[in-house]
Amino acid sequence: MGLQCGIVGLPNVGKSTLFNCLSNAKAQAANFPFCTIEPNVGVITVPDERLTKLTELVNPAKVVPNTIEIVDIAGLVKGASKGEGLGNQFLGNIRATNAIIHVLRCFDDDNVIHVDGSVDPIRDKEIIDTELQLKDLESIDKKLQKVEKAAKTGDKEGKKAFDVLTVYKNHLLEGKSARTAPVAEEDKEYVEDLWLLTAKPVMYVCNVEEKSVNTGNAYVEKVKAAVADENAEVLVISAQIESEIAQLETYEEREMFLEDLGLKESGVNKLIKAAYHLLNLSTYFTAGVTEVRAWTITKGFTAPQAAGVIHSDFEKGFIRAEVIKYIDFITLGSEAACKEAGKLGVEGKTYIVQDGDIMHFRFNV
């Protein structure tokens, strides 16, 4: 579906190190600001144990997992909204993404320079939030000027647009992001064309030292308190640990390393899964001897919409969908066994695809 999450943060907080662990597209990770000047894009495989189990049962010739794109965006500094540092480039790159992964430094280390001279994740968060909010205010003001005349002449639609934009403006002026503005869902259409930076869903990644990866630390607690009203996920990860895991050759070595640290799963895996969730995505599968494949859809897609992800003709000529629930397929062991047990459902155009459904589409064009 071509969806992207952008990794953002101040220079030297560990975001490029984290990106290197996520992707084979190597961003330069160095101990100085602006080491990532062009946005690096990595296509990341989404870990899914269900795909592994289906593959073991079906033994296909080919396996295709879900992927999302992760973009490592150049570090931002104060004044970016006015073009300072790499500001204009940074803001342009982040506007093109669908969601934000905001990396915050939550560890002390005198050997790693901080662009502002000290460690304070709340200050760092506010610096980036402020720059994004200022840019959004600029966009809001421009549109307000366009609709103000229509609003004053009594145009109903113009008045509504003016009122909604004013709510956003006042909210941003209070130092709050657009995603938390008190606006009804149906009224958000008035700002859709602005692609507001602070309206994008966000996840905060607290980059900690090894000893805090299981328990967190005082910095992490401050971050959680600061974002409590944002309905945002907070992940605790050690980029240093993830870097060490990435250097291990085999799956078994990685598992032993994680076990020694008391971790059930790598931070990278948790981050990828959380990013997938952040984008409001869901998965359905197709399973046959030729190919077992995971397909990415937006949550709430109907069967024809899901079929259209494979090919537009599937959606146009949709007749029906044959659906097997994942748990039934795994329990019974095959499509044939599911059919025999009456576990294959036939669904029409209004069926809402459920996460994990195994589907086969009938269509006619």
Q: Work out the angle at residue 353's Cα, subtended by the Cα atoms of residues 328 and 286, and round it to the nearest 5 degrees.
A: 60
- Dump the DSSP string for 63-95: EE--EEEEEEPPP--TTGGGT-TTHHHHHHHHH
Is 14 annotated as belonging to a binding site? yes
Is 16 annotated as belonging to a binding site? yes
Measured CA to CA, the distance from residue 217 to residue 209 in angstroms comes to 9
- SS3 assignment, position 142: helix
Measured CA to CA, the distance from residue 175 to residue 171 in angstroms comes to 7
Is 268 annotated as belonging to a binding site? no
| Pure H helices in 153-217 | 156-173
Measured CA to CA, the distance from residue 78 to residue 362 in angstroms comes to 55
Measured CA to CA, the distance from residue 304 to residue 5 in angstroms comes to 26
Closest CA to 16 of 78, 97, 103: 103
- SS3 assignment, position 38: coil
Is 250 annotated as belonging to a binding site? no
Is 52 annotated as belonging to a binding site? no
Measured CA to CA, the distance from residue 214 to residue 212 in angstroms comes to 6
- Dump the DSSP string for 215-239: T--HHHHHHHHHTGGGT-EEEEE-H
Measured CA to CA, the distance from residue 105 to residue 207 in angstroms comes to 5
DSSP annotation of 283 reads: E
Is 118 annotated as belonging to a binding site? no
DSSP annotation of 312 reads: H
Binding residues for ATP: 12-17
Binding residues: 12-17
